[in-house]
Amino acid sequence: MNVSVIGTGYVGATTSAALAELGHQVIGVDVDQKKVGMLNAGRLPFYEEGLETLMQALLKKGALAFTTDLARAVTGSDILFLTVGTPSQADGSANLRDLEQAVRQIGRALNGHKIIVSKSTVPVGTGERVKAWLQEEVTKRGLSIPFDVVSNPEFLREGKALHDALHPERIVIGCESDKARAMMTKLYQGMQTDFCYTTVRDAEMIKYASNSFLATKISFMNELARLCEQTDTSISKVAHGMGLDSRIGSQFLRAGIGYGGSCFPKDVEALLHLARENGVPLRLLDAVATVNREQSGWFLQKVRTALGTLSGKQIALLGLTFKPGTDDIREAPALKLIPVLLAAGAQITAYDPKGMEAVGRLHPKVRCAKDAYAALDGADAALLLTEWPEFLKLDFARVIGSMRKALFFDGRNALDGAKMRSYGFTYDGVGERGTA
C-alpha cells in the first residue's frame, strides 16, 4: 500500500521505517526542509537504537523517502498518518494547532477516498474535529470526496521504539466503517499480535488511560519508597514480592526519582484537563502528578541532609536523559535538580553518553565531563539519575579513590547497595536506606 506519514519526529520517523519494513511504500512528510534533507541522507535528528541503520537500508531500497510536498504525498497515498506533535499548553491541555494545520492541508489536496489515521496522542473527541476540518476544506473546493478518520495510537517506548513498532503487544484501531477497518487490517497484515477494534473515541481514551495507569504504578511505588525508608524496609524487595502476583505484574514497580519523557507527564496532565472540562475529578491521577512533581525534591533533600549544605559542594551527575537508550531530555529528573543545585551554590559536573549537548545549551554552568570517571573525580557526592549500562559497570574501587567524599545517591536503585557499601561508599538508594 502507499502510505504517507505526516510529521517526522520521534513517532513519525519510527512509524515510517516500520511500515516500509512491512512492505509498504512510505513517504515521510515534514515542513522543515533541512530536516527532510537530513533524513533523505540517512541521518536521524535524534538517537534511537537501530532506527538509523534500518532507515538507510529502506532509503537505498526505495521503500522509503521524505519530502516537504504534502500535496504530492496526499494524492499518491491510500493511507495518511498524522504524527505531528501535540505539546502541553499552560493549562495541561493538548495544543492541536499543528494537527489542525496538517489536516486542513490534507483537505485542500484530497483527490479521492483516503484513510486519515491519527497516531498523535490527542484528547477524546479530536477525531470528530479532524473530520470537521477535513470536510470544511473539501467543501470550500466545491467537492464531495469521501474519507475515513481512524485513531491508531502508538505505544512506543523510547530506546525500544523500533522493536515496539515491529513487534507491538497490541494494535488499537478506532474506526467507524467496514472499509476503514478492512484497510487498516490489511496494512498490518502479517503482524502476530492482538488487534483491538473500537470506536475512534475509545481508541483516543485507551492511549491516555494506558500511559496514566503506568504513571500511577510509578508514583505509587515512589511514595511507598518514602515509607520504606522510615520503616527500615526495602522497596526493591517489596516490589519483587508484589510483582510475583500476576494481577499486579512486575513492570513499572521500580522506585526512583520520578517519571519523565515526552509522554507520561504530558498525557497525565491532558487527561486531568479533560476530566476538569467534563466535571469529573480524577483524584487518584491528580495525586499521581503531585507525587511525581515532589519526588525529585524529596530525593535532593537526602543529598542536602547528608552534605549539610550544597553551597560550594562538587556534585557529580551520572545521567541526564530521562531514561537510558535515548537522547531525550524532556521532563528528565536531572532538569529539575540542576537549577536547584546551582541556585544553592553547588558546582555540577555531569556525564551522559547522549544528553550532554542538549543540557549544555540549557545550563552552560554545568561542566560536562569526557566520561563518568572524570565527572566523579573530586566530587563530594555522586547522583545516579539515569541507569545507563556503562554506569553499572564502573570500576567503583577506582571511583571511591577519586571522590572527595564517598557519598553515592542512587536515584534509580540500579546498583547493589551491599556491594557499594563494601567498597566503602555511604550508599543511599530510593526506599533502600538501612538495608544490607
H, E, C per residue of 202-247 = HHHHHHHHHHHHHHHHHHHHHHHHHHHHHCCCCHHHHHHHHHCCCC
The pLDDT, as a whole number, for residue 28 is 98
Contact 326, 260 (CB under 8 A): no
- Binding residue numbers: 30, 35, 86, 121, 155-158, 207, 252-256, 260, 266, 323, 330
The pLDDT, as a whole number, for residue 262 is 86
In 3D, which of 80, 16, 24, 23 has the Cα closest to residue 52? 16
- Binding residue numbers for substrate: 155-158, 207, 252-256, 260, 323
2-198 and 210-428: identical CATH topology: yes
The C-alpha atoms of residue 435 and residue 45 are separated, in whole angstroms, by 43
- Binding residue numbers for NAD(+): 30, 35, 86, 121, 158, 266, 330
Residue at grid coordinates 472499509: 179
The pLDDT, as a whole number, for residue 434 is 52
**CATH numeric code, 2-198:** 3.40.50.720
pTM: predicted TM-score of the whole model, two decimal places: 0.93
Report, as ranges of residue numbers, the positions in the chain whose pLDDT lies below 50.
435-436
The pLDDT, as a whole number, for residue 435 is 43
Cell for 182?
478492512
Give pLDDT tens digits for 207-223.
999 999 999 999 999 99
- The fold of 210-428 is Rossmann fold (3.40.50)
The pLDDT, as a whole number, for residue 72 is 95
Domain positions in the chain are 2-198, 210-428
Give pLDDT tens digits for 282-307.
999 999 999 999 999 999 999 999 99
Catalytic residues: 263
What is the arrangement of strands in the sheet containing 367-368, beginning at the earlier edge strand?
367-368, 347-351, 314-318, 381-384, 407-410, 426-428
